Amino acid sequence: MSNASPVKFGNANSGSTRDDALFLKVFAGEVITSFDRASKTAGADMVRSISSGKSATFPVMGRIGAEYHAVGAEILGSAVNSNEKVITINDLLISSVFISNIEEAKSHWDVRSAYSTEMGRALSFQKDKHILQTIGQASLASANVTGGDATTNVVNTGIASATDATAANAMIDAIFAAAKELDANYVPSEGRKCFMRLEEYYKLANATNAVNVDFTGNANGGIASGKVMKIAGIELVPVPHFVASNVSSGVDAGSATNAGSTPQAVNLSNFVALVSHPSAVGTVKLMDLAVEKEYDIRRQGTLMVAKYSMGHGVLRPEAAVGIKEAA
């Protein structure tokens, strides 16, 4: 059997010759863990939980028309285009650490709690990226129902302007253009969100017409708080891990063994924001986020594993709009 790779949390930045360099005789400070990677995409998708199986089906329905009734004519009903979207569960995604007994005994802080929390954050971070990439796929896709509303929904903006102010104004114009596209596709106004790169978000926080009450009519944030709440009725969400590249392989692209593909692969090069309604993306959840641990007497330590099994797919492309800088 192969040897475990224990976490050397007593070694200073993995550069010390001593594995107990960080261990103290008396606790003399607070524990510093990695920054909180709280989920940014909560509520941004439609979620179905299944108890077994490898996939789930989401029904997709077109619109029903109206007509005048001729006197005496038999009413036969209207034809409605329908389709379905099958979303397959990805492979099991895990994050793990091995904690040695002797290392834990020397430690002056709660090792297991800190590492289990950070593993959960790592998976939450990855789930965010998968959902954002799926929203990007939706903005580049055609309608799932024949005769549906949308083809590609991408708004080009001139954010690479000479000054922050003009770049912010260009971004505001792009968000209004995205709102217009969603309105034109009869997407509900409730629940719309705009996931943005940090650079564009903080330029908006300094934009006069984004935060001045004379323009917004109420407190919409400002320089003091460093926040902008909404533009065009769309909630703004700054995302440190916004994906603005061509994702074609690896963990970020997802893995679906049964489908033999990378379901979250997408080219989002030059994208700066994604505007969507929860109906744009679906998530199938087989195993929710969970943390397990087991003591290994042969290696004198505890193996901790965080895991989940989910899949993501495009449901309603017309409910997503990408905002990008023209290449």
307, β-bridge pairs: 94, 290
Q: Measure the CA–CA gap between 70 and 67, rounded to whole angstroms.
A: 9
Q: Where are the beta strands (DSSP E) in 150-300?
A: 154-157, 193-196, 221-222, 227-228, 230-231, 234-238, 246-247, 266-267, 271-276, 281-296
DSSP H helices in 185-309: 198-205, 208-211, 213-216
Note whether residue 34 is domain-resident.
yes
Note whether residue 3 is domain-resident.
no
Q: Which two tokens stand for residue 150?
A: 């949308």
Note whether residue 194 is domain-resident.
yes
Query: Residue 275 in contact with residue 194, Cβ under 8 Å?
Result: yes
Mean pLDDT, all residues of the chain: 79
Note whether residue 231 is domain-resident.
yes
Note whether residue 152 is domain-resident.
yes
The pTM of this model reads 0.80
Note whether residue 5 is domain-resident.
no
Q: Measure the CA–CA gap between 198 and 201, rounded to whole angstroms.
A: 5
The pLDDT tens digits for 259-275 are 557 888 999 998 999 99
The CATH number given to whatever domain includes residue 307 is: 3.30.2400.10
Residues whose CB is less than 8 angstroms from the CB of residue 79 and which lie 6 or more positions away in sequence, other chains included: none
Question: What string of DSSP letters covers 83-139?
Answer: EEEEEEPPPPEEEEEEEEHHHHHH-SS-HHHHHHHHHHHHHHHHHHHHHHHHHHHHH
CA distances from 133 to 127, 218, 263 (A): 10, 33, 10
Q: Measure the CA–CA gap between 96 and 292, rounded to whole angstroms.
A: 9
**Which segments of the chain have a pLDDT < 70?**
1, 9-37, 62, 108-109, 145-152, 157-163, 208-226, 256-260, 326-327
| Domain assignment of residue 219, given as a range | 12-325
Q: What is the torsional sign of CA 100, 105, 106, 107?
A: positive
pLDDT in the model for residue 16: 59
Number of neighbours of residue 288 by Cβ within 10 angstroms: 11
Q: Measure the CA–CA gap between 129 and 136, rounded to whole angstroms.
A: 10
pLDDT in the model for residue 31: 46
Q: Measure the CA–CA gap between 318 and 279, rounded to whole angstroms.
A: 9
Note whether residue 6 is domain-resident.
no
Please give the tally of structural domains in the chain.
1
What is the phi-psi region of residue 98: left when phi exceeds 0, alpha when psi lies from -120 to 50, beta otherwise?
Answer: beta
Closest CA to 322 of 165, 136, 172, 146: 136
pLDDT in the model for residue 104: 80
Collapsing DSSP to helix, strand or coil, 205 comes out as helix
pLDDT in the model for residue 129: 93
The pLDDT tens digits for 228-241 are 888 889 999 999 88
pLDDT in the model for residue 29: 47
Amino acid at 273: A
Note whether residue 108 is domain-resident.
yes
The pLDDT tens digits for 166-213 are 788 888 889 999 999 999 888 999 999 999 999 888 888 777 666 555
